[in-house]
Structure 1
C-alpha cells in the first residue's frame, strides 16, 4: 500500500501533533470517492466540521495544485494552499494535500493535511488521511482526550464513504 509524502518540517513524530485515520471498504472505487474530496464545497454536505469554504483568485470549486482556499474546522479559520494534487488513475492512487495555517504568534497553527485514495484488490478502496500540526495550539490538541483530530477525521472519512455510496446507488 502507498503512503503519504511528507514535506520537510511536517514528518510525523517530529511535529507537535499527528492524527492518522484510515478506512478500507468494499464496493467503491477511488474514482467514485475522489469527486467528494476534490470538490471542497461538497465537504459540508457530508462532514459537519467543515464550513464557509471559499476560494481565492477565482479558483474552485475543484482543488488543484497551487489553489488557495479558506475554510473553518475545529473552531479554526484556516487559510490553505494545495501542495499536492494527483487524481487517481489506473494503478496509481489519488493524492491531495494542503498546507493550512491559522492565527499569529502563540496562536499560530500550521498543518499539513494529506489524503491518499487507492484501489485495492477485490473491489475495495483504501482512504487514508493524515495530518501533522505545529504550534502551541497543536501542542494542546495533542494532549486532549478524547483526541478531537482522530474523532473528527474519522467522521470525515465515514461521511466521505457514505456520500460516495449514496451517489453509486442512484
Structure 2
C-alpha cells in the first residue's frame, strides 16, 4: 500500500500534533470516492464539521495543484492552498493542502493529506493524515478524546456513506 508524501517541515513526529485515520471498504472504487473529496463544496453534505467553503481567484469547484481556498472546521477559519493533486487514474488519488489560521501565539499551520487507492478484490483504501504546528496544535494533541482523530473519522465515515 502507498503512503503520504510529507513536506520536510511537516514530517510526523516533528510537529506538535499528528492524526491518522484510515478505512478499507469493499464495493467502492477510488473513482467513485474522488469527486466527493476533490470538490470541497460537497464536504458539508456528508461532513458536518466543514462549512463555508469558497475559492479564490475564480478557481474551483474542484481542487487542483496551487489552488487557494477557504473553509471552516474545528472552530477554525482555515485558509488553504493545494500542494499536491493527483486524481486516481490507474494510480492512487492524492490530494494535500497547507492550511493556516490565526496569528502569532494563536497561529495554527497544518498539512492535511489524503490518499485514495484501489485494492484487490474491489476494495478501496482511504487514508487521511494531518500534521499540525503551533500552540493550538499542542493543545489539541493533549485533548481527550482527541477531536482530530474523532473528527477525521467522521469525515471518512461520511465520505464512504455518501459514495455508496
TM range (shorter): over 0.9
The 5-angstrom pairing of residues 145-160 of structure 1 reads 145-160=144-159
Q: Deviations over 1:72-123 (max 9, x none)?
A: 0000000000000000012x10000000000000000000000000000000
Residue 35 (structure 1) aligns with: 35
SS at match of 2:100: strand
The answer for unaligned runs of 5 or more in structure 1 is 166-170
What TM-score do the two structures reach when normalised by structure 2? Answer: 1.00
Residue 87 (structure 2) aligns with: 87
Q: Deviations over 1:22-75 (max 9, x none)?
A: 000000000000000001100000000000000000001100000000000000
Residue 168 (structure 1) aligns with: none
Correspondence 1:132 to 2:131: yes
SS at match of 1:64: coil
The separation in 1 between residues aligned to 2:29 and 2:44, in whole angstroms, is: 22
CA RMSD, Structure 1 to Structure 2 (Å): 0.3
The answer for unaligned runs of 5 or more in structure 2 is none
CA drift at 1:12? 0.4
Residue 61 (structure 1) aligns with: 61
SS at match of 2:10: coil
Correspondence 1:8 to 2:8: yes
The separation in 1 between residues aligned to 2:120 and 2:96, in whole angstroms, is: 25
Q: Which runs of 4+ in 1 moved over 3 A?
A: none
The separation in 1 between residues aligned to 2:134 and 2:30, in whole angstroms, is: 33
CA drift at 1:142? 0.2
CA drift at 1:8? 1.2
The separation in 2 between residues aligned to 1:125 and 1:54, in whole angstroms, is: 29
